[in-house]
Structure 1
Amino acid sequence: MKFFDEARIDVFAGDGGNGAASFRREKYIPMGGPDGGDGGRGGSVWALADRNLNTLIDFRYTRSFHAQKGEKGHGADRYGKSGEDMVLSMPVGTIITDRVTGEVLADLDVHDKRVLIAKGGNGGLGNLHFKSSINRAPRQCTPGQPGEQHELQLELKVLADVGLLGLPNAGKSTFIRAVSSAKPKVADYPFTTLYPNLGVVRVDHRRSFVIADIPGLIEGAAEGAGLGHRFLKHLQRTRLLLHLVDLAPFDPEADPAHDAQAILEELRRYDQSLFDKPRWLLINKIDLVPEDEREARIKKLVDSYQPARHFVISGISGLGCKEVCFAVMDHLEGQRLHETADSQLASPGC
């Protein structure tokens, strides 16, 4: 299935049905009085977060969604039937924005979260509501109210605990294959990864986290060069970034330290808050570097990068990958405990 993380749709809630102006007509009952019923309520449009979806492809070709209208009222005190609501299932992580006002209407960040995005119109009143002691035969009724209409922008930001950064062919896909059950494409040419891949890393039977791999970045990504700039937004919800750097690039004249700094600059230019996230350095493909050169290359890269933490790994052989996963799990659990403690201190009565 092709990955789509943006879509534009138009939603139309149902109009309410008109109220009826009717009078009771039965044999032997003269002047039976008003009996016009109300119109039915128009159907509303709802958005529902569904963890079984991972793309907005359902909204690629069908872009207009109409909820059912309410039925008009009838005589004999019969109310019109309400229109059925329309529920649009979307991937968890979808942000819904009004294209006209720019207002964010919903952030579907939790499975089964249900949000009203277009309210159906109320039904009109029948003439039985206008009966009074001085108006025994009212002929007025009210029309149904129109349903809401919105032009919406849908934007998917995948929910992951950890995000992978790096140049094309830095080994991100190989790493995610080594530590999770995800099976992204791996090849010896740039931009093998064309869309984000998610993998669940299970440290043990009760501890796990989600990791996201996006297409590789190149210099100029913040201005739209390459593929990775389109998917940087998917890293904005992560708690930790892992920056993979190839210590043995194809080009012998390439400088891993320079390449790593170039990626950091693109990250900073794209979004300062993304640049400020906790970030660790993973020095990859160590098994391709001659043993007598490893220590010097690693020291040069670490001195230039100044990471909070760094690990030396080989995605293809699995060297060091387990240690990274355990360290990441400990870091995430520490963050969650810290956030829980802060929320308890901030809650009233504490």
Structure 2
Amino acid sequence: MQHTDIPSRDTILALATARDPKSVSIYLPTSPLPKDSEASRIELRNQVDEAQRQLSEAGADKRQIAAITDQIADFIEDRAFWTHLSNSLALFATPSGLKTFRLPNRLEAAVEVSDRFYVKPLMRAATFPQTAFVLALAQNSVRLLEISADDVPHRIEVAGMPENVADGAALDPVAGRAPAGHQTGGRSGGGITTAGRIQGAEGQKVRMAEYSRAIVRALRPTFTGLNVPLIIAGAEPLVSIFRGVSTYPHLATQTIAGNPEEIPDAELAASARLILDEIYAAQLALLRESFADRQANGRASTDLSDVARAATFGAIETLFVDIDRSIPGKIDAESGAVTVDAADDGINYGVVDEILRRALLSGSQILAVRAEDVPGGGAFAATLRFAA
């Protein structure tokens, strides 16, 4: 089982804007398997040695270095924590504090010392949070699951949720009944009885629509204000009927096919994560197409100087960054002019990370992705709010 602490955008922004002359950022690939925890602890000790070397070169005195390394040493000795990991660990330390995050994404190992934290890899979890709802929809039952990066999905109790098709019909205020006193014919297999209820296959579809509307009403308070994908697990024709009455704007087009009463929650979660990957891939493809269109009109760039200036003056609309590449150097706070250094050290910082930081402050959309998903194939790319 994976254990995660995915930071919110506000948390990442707070880390990105924090300043301390001796800020240490460490990223460590880990494993959710407890048997692998000792290897992760050993690797973190090696990374601390590298951070100590960079701190010494940056002029930190022994007390400052000890304040950082002692905190991390205490953390390494917390064996209970090390048996509850995910795929990566991010650690941010200064002489006065330590913060850690367990992340579902597989990140490359990194050690950065500067006057600010290295947050670019942390954005990967925020870009693709691996969170969704699954509505397991059958005629005789319905359940709502919340899917996250953890292996175990969580069932959500929804007030007013109908138990089955018959219950949904009873709860539907616009149920398809004939007007009072209306006399109907007695067609077999699809007519309307004197009780005013459509019979046969047509009548069953009417009851499914009533059931679906009751579910939509029950879910509305839970989904209000959210932009999390909702994935349906179910069979036809109920799935299509539900889609026809649903008003949730983030209903996924993909379906987990089959009778969800026969599919365990864990299997539904695994299928939902595959669908989430498809959703994110489609979103990235659209954004890359938009980048190409914008670039033709002077509203997109892959030039370091242009993008740094745009970030400085709040002109970036969407920023793509390769989470695994770093360009050492600095960016002038006023002009956005870039100075690139030949090597990383404890004085400079990653200029792409600084571009990301400035874009965050201006409310830009940030996409921390793999190299193949960055338009142009570089370390970064940006669409702009206005032509350069």
Fold shared by both chains (TM-score > 0.5) = no
TM-score (norm 1): 0.33
Bigger radius of gyration: 1
Higher fraction of helix = 2
